[in-house]
C-alpha cells in the first residue's frame, strides 16, 4: 500500500508501538471518501475542503501545529488519489506528535500521514441493529467537536462486545441520558412526521454527512431520549463510513415496521445522487477537481 507521509509517497509503514499516541492518545484525524462521478469515470474526494478544515481545527485544539497548509494537505490527498488510480477510496489523514513514549518531552515535531484504501460500507443496506449504551463517550471531559483518538476510548471497548451482543453498533449518551451518536456516526430520528438530530452543543462531532442531511430534510436539533428512539417511526445514522444507514432495531425493539423507512430511503438516494454528481460540495460550497 502506498501512502503520503510527511511530504513523500512511501510504502505504508509499520507504526512503532513506542509512538507517543499508542500510550497517551492525542492524534487528530479525518475520514474522507472519494466517489466516482456519474457518467465521467473520474473520482473525487467528497467535501474535501470541509474535512481538511476540520482536521486543522482538531489539531489546533490539541495544540498540534501542522507543518503544512490546508491547500498542501488537500493537494496531497488529490495526488494520492491520482497515484492509486480512479477507484473509490477512503482517505485517513492523521496528525500526530512524532515523539515516542521514551522521547524527550520537549520534542514538539508534528507528523502528518495519509493512508488510502478501498473501504466499502460494511453495514447492511436493509438496516442495522444497535444497542443503547449508558456510556457517555468522553463528553464533557473531552471535546467531541475535536476529531481525535482521545474521543474513541469507549468505542473500542463496546465494539469488542458487539458480536456477543449480536448488534452492529452502539448508541452513546451525553452523560445525561440523552442519546447523541453511534460510535462513528450522527443520529437522526423521525417521529410523528418530525425529523430531528441531537444538538451540536459540544457533545457530538458535527458530521459533514449530518450537515448534508439537515440541509436536505430541514431536520431540527433536539435532544433524543431512549423512549423517543424506541417509539420512533424511523431512526438512521449518518457518517463518512456509514453514509446513510437505517437503524431497524434498538435493544431488541423493532423500529417502525423493522424496515428502512421512506425518509431514510429518500435521504440515502439524495446522498448518493449528490456525491456521484457533485451536487453538494460541502459547507464551503467549494469544488476541488482532480
How many residues at the interface with ligand PMP, by CB under 6 A? 13
Stretch that binds ligand PMP, among 9-17, 21-29, 221-229, 233-241 (CB under 6 A): 233-241
- The yes or no reply on residue 240 touching ligand PMP (CB under 6 A) is yes
d(CA 8, CA 15): 16
The Cα–Cα gap between 263 and 285 comes to: 25
Stretch that binds ligand PMP, among 71-79, 93-101, 183-191, 256-264 (CB under 6 A): 183-191
Q: How far apart are CA 275 and CA 268, in angstroms?
A: 11
Decide whether 83 or 176 has the Cβ nearer to ligand PMP: 176
Strand partners, 220: 196
CB atoms within 10 A of CB 153: 14
Closest CA to 183 of 165, 191, 194, 192: 165
DSSP character at residue 259 = S
Q: What is the nearest approach in angstroms of ligand PMP to the Cβ of residue 210? A: 6
Residue closer to ligand PMP (CB basis): 259 or 278 = 278
Among 110, 210, 247, 248, binds ligand PMP (CB under 6 A): 210
Contact with ligand PMP (CB under 6 A): which of 93, 239, 260, 282?
239
Residue number closest to ligand PMP, CB atom: 207
Q: Cα 220 to chain center, whole Å?
A: 20
Binding string, residues 26-65; x marks residues near ligand PMP by CB under 6 A: -----x----------------------------------
Q: Is 185 in the site for ligand PMP (CB under 6 A)?
A: yes
Query: Is the Cβ of residue 178 or residue 238 nearer to ligand PMP in the bound state?
Result: 238
- The residue (of 99 and 171) whose beta carbon lies closer to ligand PMP is 171
| Smallest separation, CB 194 to ligand PMP (Å) | 22
Q: What is the largest CA-CA distance in the chain?
A: 58
Q: Is 186 in the site for ligand PMP (CB under 6 A)?
A: yes
**282 binds ligand PMP per the rule CB under 6 A:** no
State which residue, 186 or 263, has the beta carbon closest to ligand PMP.
Answer: 186
Please state, in angstroms and rounded to a whole number, the distance separating the CA atoms of residues 177 and 136: 9
Task: Say whether residue 184 binds ligand PMP (CB under 6 A).
Answer: yes
Angle between helices 208-217 and 48-61 in degrees, nearest 10: 130
C-alpha distance from residue 137 to each of 24, 142, 222 (Å): 17, 9, 19
Per rule CB under 6 A, is residue 128 in the interface with ligand PMP?
no
By CB under 6 A, which span of 78-86, 113-121, 159-167, 181-189 interacts with ligand PMP?
Answer: 181-189
Instruction: Detail the DSSP E strand segments found in the chain.
Output: 2-5, 8-11, 28-29, 32-36, 43-45, 90-97, 110-117, 128-136, 169-173, 179-182, 186-191, 194-197, 220-221, 234-239, 243-250, 253-254
Select the residue interacting with ligand PMP from 55, 208, 219, 255 (CB under 6 A). Answer: 208
Residues 6+ apart with CB under 8 A from 227: none
Asked whether the beta carbons of 213 and 244 are under 8 A apart, the reply is yes
Give the interface with ligand PMP as residue ranges (CB under 6 A).
31, 181, 184-186, 205, 207-210, 238-240
Amino acid at each position: 500500500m502506498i501512502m503520503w507521509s510527511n511530504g513523500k509517497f512511501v510504502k505504508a509503514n509499520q507504526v512503532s508501538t513506542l509512538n507517543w499516541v499508542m500510550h497517551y492518545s492525542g492524534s487528530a484525524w479525518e475520514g474522507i471518501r472519494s466517489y466516482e462521478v456519474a457518467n465521467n469515470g473520474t473520482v473525487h474526494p467528497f467535501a474535501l475542503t470541509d474535512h481538511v478544515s476540520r482536521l486543522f481545527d482538531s489539531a489546533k485544539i490539541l495544540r498540534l501545529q501542522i507543518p503544512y497548509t490546508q491547500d498542501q494537505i488537500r493537494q496531497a490527498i488529490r495526488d494520492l488519489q491520482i497515484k492509486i488510480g480512479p477507484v473509490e477510496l477512503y482517505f485517513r489523514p492523521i496528525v500526530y506528535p512524532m515523539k515516542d513514549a521514551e522521547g524527550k518531552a520537549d520534542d514538539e515535531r508534528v507528523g502528518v500521514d495519509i493512508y488510502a484504501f478501498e473501504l466499502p460500507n460494511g453495514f447492511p443496506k436493509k438496516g442495522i441493529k444497535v444497542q443503547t449504551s449508558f456510556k457517555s463517550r468522553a463528553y464533557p471531559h473531552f471535546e467531541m467537536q475535536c476529531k481525535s483518538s482521545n474521543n474513541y476510548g469507549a468505542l473500542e471497548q463496546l465494539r469488542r462486545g458487539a458480536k456477543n451482543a449480536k448488534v452492529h453498533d452502539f448508541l452513546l449518551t451525553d452523560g445525561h441520558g440523552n442519546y447523541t451518536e453511534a460510535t462513528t456516526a450522527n443520529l437522526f430520528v423521525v417521529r410523528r412526521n418530525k425529523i430531528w438530530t441531537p444538538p451540536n452543543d459540544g457533545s457530538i462531532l458535527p458530521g459533514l454527512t449530518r450537515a448534508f442531511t439537515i440541509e436536505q430534510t430541514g431536520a431540527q436539533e433536539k435532544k433524543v431520549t431512549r423512549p423517543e428512539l424506541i417509539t420512533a417511526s424511523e431512526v438512521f445514522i449518518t457518517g463518512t463510513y456509514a453514509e446513510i444507514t437505517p437503524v431497524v432495531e434498538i435493544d431488541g425493539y423493532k423500529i417502525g415496521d423493522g424496515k428502512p423507512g421512506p425518509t431514510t430511503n429518500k435521504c440515502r438516494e439524495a446522498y448518493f445522487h449528490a456525491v456521484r454528481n457533485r451536487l453538494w460540495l460541502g459547507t464551503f460550497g467549494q469544488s476541488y477537481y482532480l
